[in-house]
Amino acid sequence: MISKEMIGASTIPIILSILLEGEDYGYEIIRKVKLYSGGNLEWSEPMLYPVLHRLERNNHIKASWKILENGRKRKYYSVTTEGKTLLETKKSEWTEMITMLTKMWNLKPAVQ
Amino acid sequence: MDGDDYDAYQNVEPQTSSTMSFNLENEIRNWKAQLRKHKGFEDADIEELEDHLRSKLATLVSRRTSEDEAFQAILSEDYNDLNSISMLYSDQRGTSSLFPALLANYFKVGWRSFARTKTYFAINLMGLIIGLTSVLYIIFYVNFELNYDSFHENSEEIYRINTLFERGTTKMHYPIIPPAFGPEVKTSFSEIENAARLRYSYSVLMKYQDQSFYEDKVFFAEAPFFEMFSFKWKLGNPEGALQDLNTIVLTEKMATKYFGESDPLGQIITYNNEIDLKVIGVIEDVPGQSHFTFDFLISFETFKPGPGSLEPLTSWRWLGFLTYVQVNPNADIPGLEKKMLDLFQSHRNASNTNVDIQLQPLKSIYLTSGGLSNPQGGLFKVNDPDNLISLGVIAVLIIIISFFNYFNITSALMRTRSKEIGIRKVFGTSRRKVFVQMGSETLIIVALASLLSWTLILFMGKLELFQIIDESIIIAGAASISILVFFTLLSSVLFGSTFSSYSAMQLLRSKLSTATNSKFSVGRLVLLLQFGISAALIMVSLIVITQLSYFSKKDLGYSSDGIVMAKFASEEMNARRQTYVDASLNVPGVEAVSFGPSLDGSTSGSPLRLKEWPEDQVIQTAYFGVDYEFDKILDLEMVSGRFFSKEYARDSAEALIINETMAEMLGLEDPIGQKVEFARRDYEIVGVFRDFHYKSLHHEIGPLAMELWLGQPRNVMIKYRTENIGRTLQNLESTWKEVFREGGFPFDYRFLDEQLQAMYQKEQEFATLLKVFTSLAIFLALLGLFGLSSINIQQKIKQIGIRRVLGAEVKQIAGVVSKRYIVTSVLGIVVALPFAYVFMKGWLENFAYSIDLNLGFPIVTLLAVLGITALTLSYQVYRVMTVNPSSILRDE
């Protein structure tokens, strides 16, 4: 079980990382998160969409409606320049943390 | 929207088709309509969610799930709480954080959550309304009882002079004093500003023109009465009223009874066919909040001690006058009592009794006169403060039960809303906001309940009955507001902290264990307490009801059936006494006719001692004057000796019969033939009769003596066989009219058993209140139990559904869901009943004759609670079992 603090802190970098691979829509984002986490992290749409909308309002991502083959509409999100900058910041924060923790755990194995 | 045409087409399909096929487009359309009802979703959001739904559906269907199942699964998994999802959408849009707007939002969300759970909302609301209305009613009632006589402007300064006597081992406490005492204190002590004597006039025949009635509520009163007491005048002038000889003041009701529409002032009413009284005033009927009541007040000047009276109005020995004094506001009451005692002692020469004088404050008379001898039972109202305390306890219990219900049901419901709160937490909603949200929801429902309760109370018209004064409105209002604040604060703390203690993920996953699942939890403790309180209340009410019905069934020592009594209080009637007896005995069915005491619980008494005893050793003894036939009326059983008989000429002069209690107190093996002094005259004991209850059952049977009295009676008693009562009474009435054609004496009869019941009127009023409120408390407890089990079972509904699909039997399922309740309820009862038992033991000690507290009460209570619990549960299980399991699974 992943703690709520971790989920809270990781949501935005995860979304931005997925969108960095190319534009995407909500259902796929959730599917990819599940895939990448090996099934350990399962987001629900009521949780995801408000976050997407907030990122959109803060100009970290942008959205566009596309018409599908069957005539339906789908909202795609893609990351903006500001979003990329934000992701870079997050990335360095996370890398720093992971590097540090890995070091510590390698030095002292089997912390009880 | 591109699906619309298709939807419209599908809609035309007839709905009567027996196999209701699943129509995805229809379902999605309905679902979208649902979303649109929530303000959080904008059109774009809904379209995005629809796309998401369809994508997810496609995936699931590709895994060989049917469209129907897949759709239901998604809906129950992701969209079962549209409120909270909608709120998240509005939250991220940046709802203003200004407090009122936020609060308004919480109210909105709260309202929606109420609307979503209508049944429980109704249970909660109903429970609160019943609880609040009961509490308000009890507050008004108790406040009414506590404020007797406070409508008099001078109520703080008025006291009644009481006397306490101690003769030998018996103590007597009287609200009356000798006639010379009142005027003397007024002239002797400067602290006393005013004094008024009242003398009760026994049943009186009042005659106006050609109509006459017997009246019981008649007093002679001294003129200062109206200066001291604030009775409202309708006609006439209170100044100088009752100063003149042969004047009378009456109540509005009596004015209408005698004079109808015509002006009562100056009219003449004849008193006992003897004295003409001039009406000089009409006052409003005596308010219900007065400790004594009257219909007529005759000027004291008019009062003349009757021909049988031994004492003049200057007597210091004749205990027979109510005396009220109004003191200076700064008066030292204990000092004044001492001075009055000295004055009293200086005028008495009897040394064989200890005496004391008490100034009883007017406002406390009603509640502190339980131990006083009440010479004119019906006219003086008393109540036991314990009754008010009991009611207060019930009010507190009702509020506790209401809150427990509310807490139980709401917290169970909250668990179903955990997703909403969890999501808010992910978004960093502060703890404070969760508190405010929970509090505001409670605020809405309690405020609504309070409003409805007040409306109910006001419309019941009870305020009018209680002559509600501003003060009680303020008290009840303050109580109302305190309850509101208390509920709001407590629920926000309880619910808020419950939620703060869970992590967001736990809340989101909805894996909150139902609080009652674990062995020890607040929810379970509350449930246990609730059961305990309901059980205790059920037992308390059982005991109260049993005790009170014991009153009406207890063997009085004589049969009160088939006895009718009528006023026989004039000399003119007495002159035709024998004619009347002969005529009545000729009526078929009539067994005996006797003239004697009124048997309404009132007695008079005198000291009695054996001649061989020293002067100061006496037993205060109640006294009945009876005729030769009295034993036939009551089926009086002689234990030894004989009843009065015409064969013994000296019976009328010096024979006395006594009851068993008296015989025991005299301490003689054979009291027959003993010489005694009674009321300062010499007698010989000729018989001992079996004890019977000559007073109300509040009192133990005391010493009673009977003497032959053939003079002017007050009552005639007729015993008849109980078949054909209607005809017997008709014949008795026509006989009466025939004999007493002249004088216009009405046949004003009453049945002895009804009269006896009237002695327990206060108990019956209190019993009714107690029954109503304990029933309500029990009902509330059951309502809570019902609501709570329903929610818990609904949470287990999926489990039950699966079990049913797997072929589980009703018995097994019922066992699963009810085991916990049964265990908790038995535990609660076991804890609570001893407390209730001890409490009721104390209560029963107030009664001279009470029921035995046996094990039957706790057993019946246990069975009742378990039975009702089982019923509630079976209903719930039945509901689950009759629902199609697939629909249960789908809903989840």
pLDDT at B276: 93
Span B339-354, average pLDDT: 80
Least confident piece of the model among B196-210, B565-579, B713-727, B876-890: B876-890
Span B70-87, average pLDDT: 77
State the smallest CA–CA distance between residue A108 and chain B in angstroms.
Answer: 30
Torsion angle of C-alpha atoms B676, B681, B682, B688, degrees rounded to 10 = -50
Chain A positions contacting chain B at CB under 8 Å are 1-4, 7-8, 25-28, 31, 44-47, 49-51, 53-54, 57, 71-75
DSSP assignment, residue B286?
P
Instruction: Name the band, by pLDDT with cuts 50, 70 and 90, for residue B82.
Output: confident
Span B46-69, average pLDDT: 84
pLDDT > 50? residue B891:
no
φ/ψ of residue B285, rounded to 5: -55, 145
Nearest CA in chain A to B82: A46
pLDDT at B229: 93
pLDDT > 80? residue B315:
yes
**Axis crossing angle, helix B725-739 with helix B577-585, rounded to the nearest 10:** 150
Instruction: Name the band, by pLDDT with cuts 50, 70 and 90, for residue B517.
Output: very low
- Tally Cβ neighbours within 10 Å of residue B723: 9
Torsion angle of C-alpha atoms B202, B205, B208, B209, degrees rounded to 10 = -160
Contact between chains at A74 and B84 (C-beta distance less than 8 A) = no
> What is the percent of chain B with per-residue pLDDT over 90, rounded to a whole number?
16
Instruction: Name the band, by pLDDT with cuts 50, 70 and 90, for residue B6.
Output: very low
Least confident piece of the model among B311-325, B766-780, B834-848: B766-780
pLDDT > 70? residue B504:
no
Of B48, B54, B504, the CB nearest to A75: B48
**pLDDT by residue (tens digit) across B417-451?**
666 666 666 655 666 777 777 788 888 888 999 99
Least confident piece of the model among B4-18, B124-138, B329-343, B586-600: B4-18
pLDDT > 60? residue B508:
no
**pLDDT by residue (tens digit) across B615-659?**
767 777 888 888 898 888 888 889 899 999 888 888 888 899 999
Instruction: Name the band, by pLDDT with cuts 50, 70 and 90, for residue B209.
Output: confident
Instruction: Name the band, by pLDDT with cuts 50, 70 and 90, for residue A103.
Output: confident
The three-point CA angle B216-B218-B219 to 5° equals 145
DSSP assignment, residue B741?
T
Interface residue of A47, A51, A76 to substitute, partner B, most B CBs within 10 Å: A47
pLDDT at B280: 94
pLDDT > 90? residue B210:
no
pLDDT at B886: 58
With 0-12 / 13-18 / 19 or more C-beta atoms within 10 angstroms meaning exposed / middle / buried, residue B684 is middle
Is the CB of residue B580 less than 8 Å from the CB of residue B739?
A: yes
Contact between chains at B52 and A54 (C-beta distance less than 8 A) = no
- Radius of gyration over every alpha carbon of chain B, rounded to an integer in angstroms: 38
Least confident piece of the model among A74-78, B295-299, B621-625, B695-699: B695-699
B664: closest CA among B644, B683, B684, B688? B688
B383: closest CA among B765, B697, B695? B765
**Helix H segments across B554-629?**
571-575, 577-585
Instruction: Name the band, by pLDDT with cuts 50, 70 and 90, for residue B10.
Output: very low
pLDDT > 80? residue B837:
yes
Nearest CA in chain B to A77: B48
Interface residue of B52, B62, B95, B429 to substitute, partner A, most A CBs within 10 Å: B52
Contact between chains at A54 and B92 (C-beta distance less than 8 A) = yes
φ/ψ of residue A95, rounded to 5: -60, -45
Pairwise pLDDT comparison (B365 vs B807), residue with the higher score:
B365
pLDDT at B810: 64
Least confident piece of the model among A107-111, B98-102, B754-758: B98-102
- DSSP assignment string, B148-189: TTTTSTTGGGEEEEEEEEEETTEEEEESEE-TTHHHHHHHH-
State the smallest CA–CA distance between residue B426 and chain A in angstroms.
Answer: 6
Span B472-477, average pLDDT: 80
pLDDT at A10: 85
Pairwise pLDDT comparison (B542 vs B659), residue with the higher score:
B659
> What is the percent of chain B with per-residue pLDDT over 70, rounded to a whole number?
76
State the smallest CA–CA distance between residue A106 and chain B in angstroms.
Answer: 30
Strands B321-327 and B192-201: antiparallel
Interface residue of B32, B48, B80, B502 to substitute, partner A, most A CBs within 10 Å: B48
Least confident piece of the model among B6-20, B519-533, B782-796: B6-20
Q: What is chain B's mean pLDDT, rounded?
A: 78
Beta-carbon pairs below 8 A across chains A and B: 72
Nearest CA in chain A to B506: A4
Structure pTM? 0.63
The two tokens of residue B444 are: 């809405």
Is the CB of residue A49 less than 8 Å from the CB of residue B89?
A: yes
- Distance between CA B194 and CA B224 in Å, rounded? 7
Span B610-614, average pLDDT: 83
Instruction: Name the band, by pLDDT with cuts 50, 70 and 90, for residue A107.
Output: low
Span B671-692, average pLDDT: 88
3-state secondary structure of B622: strand
Nearest CA in chain B to A45: B78
pLDDT at B7: 36
Span A37-55, average pLDDT: 81
Of A2, A26, A47, the CB nearest to B48: A26
Contact between chains at B78 and A53 (C-beta distance less than 8 A) = no
Residues with Cβ within 8 Å of B433's Cβ and at least 6 positions away in sequence, in order, are B102, B424
The two tokens of residue B694 are: 């000559």
Chain B positions contacting chain A at CB under 8 Å are 2-3, 44-45, 47-49, 51-52, 54-56, 59, 77-79, 84-85, 88-89, 91-93, 419, 423, 425-428, 503-505, 508
In A, which residues are within 8 Å of B31 by CB distance?
none
pLDDT > 70? residue B149:
yes
**pLDDT by residue (tens digit) across B399-424?**
877 887 787 777 767 766 666 666 66
